Amino acid sequence: MRLRFSRKTLGIPYAIFLLFFVIIPMLVIIFYAFTDKEMHISFDNFVRFFSDPTKLSTIVYSLVIALITTAVCLLIAYPVAYILARSKMKKKFVILLLFVTPMWINFVLRVNAIRELLNWVGLLGEANYFNTIFGMVYDFLPFMILPLYTTLLKIDESLYEASADLGGNGFTTFTRITLPLSMPGIASGITMVFLPSMTNYVVSDMLGNSKVTIIGKFIYEYFGTNWHMGSMVALILLIVVFLSTWLTGGFKEENTVRGANI
């Protein structure tokens, strides 16, 4: 019998690609994380990593940097998204586009531009932690604005009117209507900013005068010396990612494409 053409078979190349370059690399990471240099099963990597006080203090610093970055992004992005989403202006998409456009410039060139600005102001090399957070806020702000904007836009205008009719003032309307209904946007914005602020060491290296170390930088350092320790850090980050996606109710496709679909 002749093999019947099925449209399902078109997916086979991609399935093989995913198997070899996504699934197997993840398994390799897990394998390396739980073995020592002689390839014996061991939990030493975990114990060694978490009993090193300098590593622990770096982790704490990195988490604090990521928390501040996320909080500042939220504080700036929420009003921006709210004003734009509720604006009756016909051309508001143009303004939203202006917030997204810098994202399309090469990432490293963008960080370099901030570096030149900070150098001009005289902060480069003087305020390493401030510079790092400034750069991260600058770079990751659109990741926060987009999901907030899309959820705020979906809120039915009549809910605001109903709240006002029932005697709710601006504050009550915000805490009882706007905030609860925009929670999904807040959650996906937070995950999309928090993760790169822990791991993207391009910003901290270029703006922090090589004095600021974040968790992602450990992987770089271990890559040259000890793959087992590096894989262990990667595995921890992997678990953090899966937990946070799971906790925030899965992943929102519309927010991941950098505003390509505004």
Partner 1 sequence: MNKKAIAIKCAKAAFIGLVLLLLYAPILLLAVYSFLDTDVIGTSGDFSFVHYRALFTDSKVLTMIGNTFGLAFASAALSTVLGTLGALGIFYSKKRVKASMNAVSRIPIINAEIVTALALAITFVAFGLPKSYFTLLIGHMVICTPFVVLSVMPKLKQMDNSLYEAALDLGASPAKALFKVVLPQIIPGVISGFMLAITLSLDDYIVTFYTRPSGFETISTYVFSATTRGNAHTAATLSSFWALTTIIFVVILIVVISANLAGRRKDKTEVRR
Q: Which residues in the 179-218 window bind partner 1 by CB under 8 A?
A: 195-196, 198-202, 205-206, 210, 216
Of 56-64, 66-74, 86-94, 175-183, the window that binds partner 1 (rule: CB under 8 A) is 86-94
Nearest to 69 by CA among 58, 79, 77: 77
Smallest gap from residue 211 Cβ to partner 1 (A): 12
Q: What are phi and psi of 41, to 5 degrees?
A: -60, 130
Among 1, 2, 3, 7, the residue binding partner 1 under the rule CB under 8 A is: 7
> CA–CA separation, 44 vs 32, rounded Å?
12
Q: What angle, 0 to 180 degrees and rounded to 10, lies between the N-to-C axes of helices 128-154 and 183-199? A: 150
Looking at residue 5, its amino acid is F
Q: Please report how close the Cβ of residue 116 comes to partner 1 at its closest, in angstroms.
A: 5
Q: Is 223 in the site for partner 1 (CB under 8 A)?
A: yes
Choices 52-60, 65-73, 147-155, 236-244 (CB under 8 A): range interacting with partner 1: 236-244
**Residue number with CB closer to partner 1 (109 or 166):** 109
Q: Which two tokens stand for residue 246?
A: 């799971």
Q: Which is nearer to partner 1, 118 or 186 (CB)?
A: 118
Q: Which is nearer to partner 1, 120 or 166 (CB)?
A: 120
Q: Does 12 bind partner 1 (CB under 8 A)?
A: yes
Torsion of CA 163, 165, 168, 171, to 10 degrees: 70
Question: Residues 14-53 vs partner 1: string with x where CB under 8 A?
Answer: xx-xx--xxxxxx-xx--x---------------------
Residue 156 CB: number of other CB atoms within 10 A? 10
Q: How far is the CB of 111 from partner 1 (least distance, A)?
A: 8
Q: ∠ at Cα 46 (42, 52), nearest 5°?
A: 130
> Pick from 51, 54, 106, 169: which binds partner 1 (CB under 8 A)?
106
Contact present, 122 and 215 (Cβ < 8 Å): no
Cβ nearer to partner 1, comparing 18 with 56: 18
Q: What residues from 120 to 149 belong to the interface with partner 1 (CB under 8 A)?
A: 120, 138, 141
Q: Does 95 bind partner 1 (CB under 8 A)?
A: yes
R_g over Cα of the chain: 22
Task: Tell me how far apart the alpha carbons of residues 183 and 82 are, in angstroms, rounded to a whole number.
Answer: 13
